[in-house]
Structure formats: structure tokens, C-alpha cells
Amino acid sequence: MVDSIGIDIVLILLLMAISVGTVITIRLLRAAVGLALVSALLTIVMYRMGAPVAAVFELSVCAGLILVIFISTISLTQRLTPDRIIHVERETLRRFWFLPIIIVVIAVFLSQVNLPVGDAAAPIAQAPPSPMGVREVLWNLRHMDLIGQVIILLAGAFGVLILFKRGK
């Protein structure tokens, strides 16, 4: 049990560290790789927390399709010069040095605070595990969300084409 919690904590810390790195990096390629890693780690965390449907959705949508849009963005944009990269990276680190500290402080605070859920969580806690598989959940129960996700990806693809093609 202790080992299991230890693994979860390591995974979540890793997740937070990579998330911060992904946000503050100025290199799109690194940000894309960071996004993929965040998605993969989040998938593992969700799976370990007993939410396999959410894990599959995260992996398929984020790690797969959004990454494709991200990489197509990179192919349509231009690299900065090496000198400029060094300058902007230093500037970014100078401006965002406090970000990891804030996240660690919030994480420690939240881990110490018990939300006053009371009996409200009972319906979830007592609910029997769903007999339906991922396919049934996505196609029968969350059909509308799936279509919404498809539309978001379509809009994302249009955004990349419109904004970055013109920028190039």
C-alpha cells in the first residue's frame, strides 16, 4: 500500500515538473514532446486511480490527435536563431522561477486539506463498477462528448491552417 502511494506521488511530481517545463519552454518541439509525456503520465495516473475509460480517452485524444496538430504547427513555423533562443530562455527562466515553487506549495497544501465532502461522496463510493466497456461508454453514454471532441479537433486543425500558414 505504502509502495503504491509512493509510486503515485512520484508520478504526480514528475507530471507537475514536466507540465511546468512544457509551459515555460520556448521551443515548440520540446513543448510537443512535453505534452506527449504529460499525457502518457496522466494516462498512467488515471489508470492507477481506477478510471480506465478516462485514461483511454486521454491517451487517444491528447497523446494522439492533439500531438498531430502540434507537429503540423511546428512544420508551418520557423525556428529562432540560436542566440535568440538563449536570450529568450534566460528571460523565461528569470520571469517564471517562482512557478515550480507555487505548484509545490499548492500541492503540499492540498495534500494536507480534507475537502468537507461528508456523505456527499457516498453515491460514487458505493456505486458498483460499470459493467460496460470503453466502447459502450463512449458510444452509448458519452456520444455527444465524442462528437464535441471531433469538432474541437476540426476547429484546432482549421486554427493551425489559418493562423500559422498565414504567419509563415
Considering only 2-10, 31-39, 61-69, 114-122, which stretch makes contact with other proteins by CB under 8 A?
Answer: 114-122
Q: Which three cell numbers stand for residue 130?
A: 460499470
Q: Which of 120, 132, 133, 136 binds other proteins (CB under 8 A)?
A: 120
Q: Which of 117, 130, 133, 136 binds other proteins (CB under 8 A)?
A: 117
Instruction: Report, in Å, the least distance between residue 4 CB and other proteins.
Output: 22
Residue 168 engages other proteins in binding (rule: CB under 8 A): no
CA distances from 150 to 24, 88, 147 (A): 28, 35, 5
Q: Which of 30, 90, 95, 143 binds other proteins (CB under 8 A)?
A: 143
Residue corresponding to grid cell 521551443: 27
Residue 147 engages other proteins in binding (rule: CB under 8 A): yes
Residue 90 engages other proteins in binding (rule: CB under 8 A): no
The one-letter amino acid code at 17 reads: A
Determine whether 52 is exposed, middle or buried from the number of CB atoms within 10 Å of its CB (0-12, 13-18, 19+). middle
Q: Judge contact between 60 and 134, C-beta under 8 A.
A: no
Half-sphere CA count of 12, side-chain side, radius 13 A: 14
Q: Which three cell numbers stand for residue 40?
A: 502518457
Considering only 3-11, 72-80, 96-104, 146-154, which stretch makes contact with other proteins by CB under 8 A?
Answer: 146-154
Q: Judge contact between 59 and 39, C-beta under 8 A.
A: yes
Task: Return d(Cα 58, Cα 144) in angstroms, integer.
Answer: 17
Considering only 31-39, 76-84, 100-108, 153-161, which stretch makes contact with other proteins by CB under 8 A?
Answer: 153-161
Q: Which of 69, 98, 152, 168 binds other proteins (CB under 8 A)?
A: 152
Task: Return d(Cα 49, Cα 43) in angstroms, integer.
Answer: 10
Instruction: Report, in Å, the least distance between residue 123 CB and other proteins.
Output: 4
Residue 133 engages other proteins in binding (rule: CB under 8 A): no
Residues forming the site for other proteins (CB under 8 A) = 115-118, 120-121, 123-124, 127, 142-145, 147-152, 154-156, 158-159, 162-163, 166-167
